[in-house]
Amino acid sequence: MTDDGIKKEKSTSDKNGMFKKIFRFLKGMPFSFILLAVIAAACVLGSVIPQGQTLSYYMETYGARKGNLIAAFSLDRVFSCWWFIALAALLCFNLILCSISRIKGVINAWKRTKSFGIWGSWVTHLGLLLLIVSFALSQYTSKEEELYGIPGSKQALGRTGLQVEIDSFDVLLRDDFTVEQYVAGLTVHNGSASLSGEASVNHPFKAFGYRFYQNSMGWANYVDIYKGGELVKTDLICAGEYTFPDDFPSLVIMFNKFYPDFREAEDGSFYTETPLLKDPRSLYGIFYNGGLMSIDIVKPGELITVHDYTFVLRDPVQYTLIVGKTDPYAWTVGLAAAVLLAGLVLSFYVRPYEERKRKENGKD
């Protein structure tokens, strides 16, 4: 063989050796530990740093330097940022390589011992892999839409093609006024058929492949807008929402907060004595060109006059927030969790590690 030939072969064998080393590292436990350590560290950051806030929030809370770091490394949305997903993907890759490389040994050991416990560790790893993949699949394929409305209203559920009618909404109170349950009566139409039922917390209503969750509630007010004594607009707005005269949009009334059983404390703050509609008040703000003109509290039907316009907040009513969700692959997450648990039981209790070791060492 010529010198060039020897060099070429040496270079190919070096390359193969390097690839083998990389492959060994990628399927190995040290790589798993590095990934798990970084994932755990990311989890710590994600739990300590409030997630999903605005950049200005982080700037104000942590200062400009830390705020910029948080934004640069996506620490404001750790669990959905690219590097966290990449870590999970690498962990999957590591689990796949590890499982493939171990399967032969596991099968041989099983042939030798016929003990299902031999499969424990392998099944546990498979379960974890399935869990991460099915979670990602479920996140990717699930659809979620929400709507809110008062009894009697009918709305489309996003772009699902379903119409949701809110037949009723009740807040069931105990004697001490704590909430026992929130119950929404719903009728869901899919164009050709309708299904009716109740959605309450922990008991979603299932219709046309969707689960409807009773998610939240609040108070809404009807707002009448008069101009020169003539009714020009009626709107229904929930707490936190606003409306305006169509011919004068720079004048805005915002409904801030509702007190069904109003009381004023000694320090001047407002609170509600009970959740019952006994002595209601609404806190509102008037804005002109984006600037706050006034803020006050009114009884239902009380007139609020600004220039030529009069606003009336009336007939407060409770609204419900309904979330419709379809998750066609949720069952895969359940299956993966079952595989993981089965793997753990096999690992620890079908033929525990110590016994295995003892038998392998021929001490039994």
Partner 1 sequence: MAKIENITFMAALAAYLVSAALYFVYIAVKNGKVSKAAYTVMFAGFVSHSVCIAVRGILAHRLPLTNQYEFATAFAWGITLCFLIFVKKFKFDALGAFVAPVIFLVIGYASMQSKEIHNLMPALQSNWLGFHVSMAIIGYGAFGVAFGVAMAFLLKDKVHGKIAETIPDEKTLDLIIYRSVALGFLFLTLCMVTGAIWANNAWGSYWSWDPKETWSLITWIIYAVFLHLRVRKGMTGKKAALFAALGFVCVIFTYIGVNTLLSGLHSYK
φ/ψ bin of 152: left (φ > 0), alpha (ψ from -120 to 50), beta (otherwise): left
CB 353 to partner 1: min, Å: 5
In the complex with partner 1, the residue whose CB is nearer, 135 or 288, is: 135
CB 323 to partner 1: min, Å: 6
Burial class (CB in 10 A: 0-12, 13-18, 19+), 311: buried
CB 181 to partner 1: min, Å: 5
In the complex with partner 1, the residue whose CB is nearer, 277 or 337, is: 337
In the complex with partner 1, the residue whose CB is nearer, 246 or 354, is: 354
Q: How far apart are CA 2 and CA 8, in angstroms?
A: 10
CB 348 to partner 1: min, Å: 4
Cβ-contact 273, 260 below 8 angstroms: no
Query: Six-digit token pair at 20?
Result: 């083998």
In the complex with partner 1, the residue whose CB is nearer, 16 or 101, is: 101
165 φ, ψ (degrees, to nearest 5): -105, 125
CB 311 to partner 1: min, Å: 35
In the complex with partner 1, the residue whose CB is nearer, 29 or 72, is: 29
CB 269 to partner 1: min, Å: 20
In the complex with partner 1, the residue whose CB is nearer, 275 or 300, is: 275
The site for partner 1 (CB under 8 A) is made up of: 29, 32-33, 36-37, 39-40, 43-44, 46-48, 51, 79, 121, 135, 144, 174, 176, 178-182, 200-204, 211, 213, 215, 323, 325, 327, 330, 333-334, 337, 340-341, 344-345, 347-348, 352-354
Distance separating the N- and C-terminal Cα atoms of the chain? 56
Q: How far apart are CA 304 and CA 315, in angstroms?
A: 15
DSSP string covering 168-198:
EEEEEE-TTS-EEEEEEEEEEE-SS-EEEEE
The DSSP output letter for 81 is S
Q: How far apart are CA 205 and CA 257, in angstroms?
A: 30
Residue that the structure tokens 């990389």 belong to? 22
Q: How far apart are CA 150 and CA 81, in angstroms?
A: 37
CB 179 to partner 1: min, Å: 6
Burial class (CB in 10 A: 0-12, 13-18, 19+), 289: exposed
In the complex with partner 1, the residue whose CB is nearer, 195 or 306, is: 195
Element containing residue 233 per DSSP (H, E): strand 230-238
In the complex with partner 1, the residue whose CB is nearer, 19 or 177, is: 177
CB 164 to partner 1: min, Å: 15
